Structure 1
């Protein structure tokens, strides 16, 4: 009886610890779509740090040491009308920033971002016949985005980001629903910062009679930028 009590105590402690880690430290998510390509691919499994922007006090809505997101961060967030659905996008505009998009290219505080075409890398480009990869740069920050070769001209703004909110975009600019359509995101709805891809499964390339996905080994335990 004592042994079973020890087993039960160990199990309860393990479950409590796992729930604590998931709720307050690190949460795992699966990427279902290609809206964040080339950075995140469908089938990526990611970890999000819940303490990057503040430490939440257990069993409360209060946070300590609150830190605002930085430009270029990949964040996990929710919307008030869909609290059960988590989204991943990149922070482009911070509070007070003036955002405008002309012909698909961003002007941030009336300064155009720089776009440098990246040589085709088959592992990053979902379809080189359709997409081009660019390095998008603003001052000391840069990240990769993709555009369709024959994309339509899309203009937006100008918009000034309200206090305590951020303007977010998907890296797959022609195939992402984001602040261009939903509006800015309150920082209170941000869950955490994406920090790591711990597993990546490719369901386009299968084996075992087309029953099992292949593993993208080059992406396993790779940091996210």
Structure 2
């Protein structure tokens, strides 16, 4: 029994940990109150890709934040009338309700090397890289294991 308890504790400390989404910034994919499983070694095991859900400490309030990785060092990011544009190419985003963010414009900005540009899926209700800039890759604490990113 003790061995099982130690194994579960070790798993939570170093592998997988549940975290509750504290805002609607990722709705509808992750409504407020959703529980996701953070995979802590995720950023260390392989490159984070565009579309992955990542966890990092929010520069706004110091709490864990879950956002979608959009672009990486050297890439340009813009939002043109609600359409995400990376390196001049409009991106397909099936989970984004464009009617809720019609008329939204941002950028373009270039992501610094060693950084990731993150956005909430609920673009009109998300504080993300548009407000606090790109997040250093070394600041990523985990990727979201469940529910899956896309």
TM-score, scaled to structure 2: 0.87
Q: Which has the higher helix share?
A: 2
Once the two structures are TM-superposed, the CA of residue 32 in structure 1 deviates from its matched residue by 2.2
* Counterpart for residue 97 of structure 2: 146
Q: Which has the larger radius of gyration?
A: 1
Partner-residue secondary structure (3-state), 2:9: helix
1:111 equivalenced with 2:92 (yes/no): no
Once the two structures are TM-superposed, the CA of residue 18 in structure 1 deviates from its matched residue by 3.2
**Aligned pairs, how many?**
150
Structure 2's unaligned 5+ residue stretches are none
* Counterpart for residue 174 of structure 1: 124
Structure 1's unaligned 5+ residue stretches are 1-6, 55-65, 115-135, 137-142, 198-222
CA RMSD after TM alignment: 2.2
Query: Is the 8 Å Cα contact of residues 147 and 173 (structure 1) preserved in structure 2?
Result: no
Which structure has the higher relative contact order (CA within 8 Å, separation 6+)? 2
Q: Which has the higher strand share?
A: 1
**Alpha-carbon distance between aligned partners in 2 of 1:30 and 1:113, rounded to the nearest angstrom:** 28
CA 224–71 in structure 1, closer or farther in 2 if over 3 Å, else same: closer
**Alpha-carbon distance between aligned partners in 2 of 1:191 and 1:105, rounded to the nearest angstrom:** 28
Once the two structures are TM-superposed, the CA of residue 224 in structure 1 deviates from its matched residue by 4.5
